[in-house]
Amino acid sequence: MVELSTTKDGIPNQAEASDRVLQILSEAGRLFATKGYDGTSMRDIAVACGISKSLLYHHFSNKDEIYARVAVGSTLELYLFVRDRVPDGPPSQKIRAFMVATAEYFRRYRWAWIASTTAFWNDPDRHRQKERLTRRDRFENFLRGLIQEAIDAGEIRKVDVPMTGRLILSSLNWMHRWYNPNKSATPEQIADIFFDMVFNGLRSGDAAAPPPAEPPKSSRRKARQTSRS
C-alpha cells in the first residue's frame, strides 16, 4: 500500500514507507472511515495494528499527523496511481483507462478513499483543505485533457468538457456509498460499464432522439421580455 506514504511536501517517500508505517496508515484509514476522526484514538490504532502505543508514537507524533497522511496523502497518490496507468493510444481508451484505474485504486485502498472523502469538506484545517482542493483540481484537469483529446480526434462529439468530467467523476466518486464488495462485479468492471454508458450512450440505434427540454417558465418569460425590448 505504498501509495499512502508521502513526505511533508506531498512527494512519495519510498525509503520511509516501511511495512509498519503502511500497516498503521491502512488500519488508521479503516478506523477513520468507520468511527470518524473524533471516535478514533491512538490506542485504537495501536490495538488494530497489534503494536504498543510507544511504537506507534515512534512513527507518528500524534493522531492528526496520521490523519493528514491518510486524508491528504491519498489525494496525491490517486492522481499518481491513475496517471501511471493511462497508456498511450486512442484518447477514448485513455478515458476508459482513467476510469478503470480510479476504480482499481478505490478497490485497493477503499478505507483510505472513504476517510479522505469524509474529510474533504469536514476537515477544519484550512491549509489541508486548500491542499486537497489543489490536488483535486489537478486530477480533474487531467481527465478534462483526455476528454478534449477525444473531441479533437473526432472520437466524441463536441461536449462541455468540464461538465463531462464532472459526470464521469461523480459516477466514480460516490461508489463508496453503495458498492458492496460481496457482490460479483468488481469496481473495475463497474467502471468499464460506466465508460460504455458514457461513451456509447443509452439510446438504442433505432430509437429517435427525444426533443430538447423546454426551459423553465421563468426563463421563457425573460426571453420574451428581452425580445420586446
Residue 118 burial by Cβ neighbours in a 10 Å radius (0-12, 13-18, 19+) = middle
Asked if 62 and 70 count as a contact pair (C-beta separation under 8 A), the reply is no
* Contacts (Cβ under 8 Å, ≥6 apart) of 105: 3, 77, 78, 81, 82, 113
In a domain, 195, yes or no: yes
In a domain, 221, yes or no: no
Residue 2's pLDDT is what? Answer: 36
Instruction: Report, as an integer, the average pLDDT of 40-63.
Output: 95
Residue 23's pLDDT is what? Answer: 84
In a domain, 82, yes or no: yes
Residue 204's pLDDT is what? Answer: 78
* Contacts (Cβ under 8 Å, ≥6 apart) of 122: none
pTM of the model: 0.73
Determine the structural domain holding residue 16 and report its residue range: 2-200
Instruction: Report, as an integer, the average pLDDT of 29-41.
Output: 88
Q: For residue 21, what is the domain's CATH number?
A: 1.10.357.10
Statement: residue 173 has pLDDT above 80: yes
In a domain, 208, yes or no: no
In a domain, 206, yes or no: no
Residue 113's pLDDT is what? Answer: 81
Residue 40's pLDDT is what? Answer: 93
Instruction: Report, as an integer, the average pLDDT of 18-27.
Output: 80
Provide the Cα torsion 70, 75, 76, 79; round to 10°.
140
- Cell readout for 35 is 468511527
In a domain, 225, yes or no: no
pLDDT digits (tens, 9 = 90+) for 77-125: 888 889 999 999 999 999 999 999 999 988 888 887 887 777 666 666 6
Q: What is the Cα–Cα distance from 118 to 193, expressed in whole angstroms?
A: 26
pLDDT digits (tens, 9 = 90+) for 127-168: 777 777 888 899 999 999 999 999 999 999 999 999 999 999
Number of domains the chain is built from: 1
The rounded Cα 173 to chain-centroid distance in angstroms is: 5
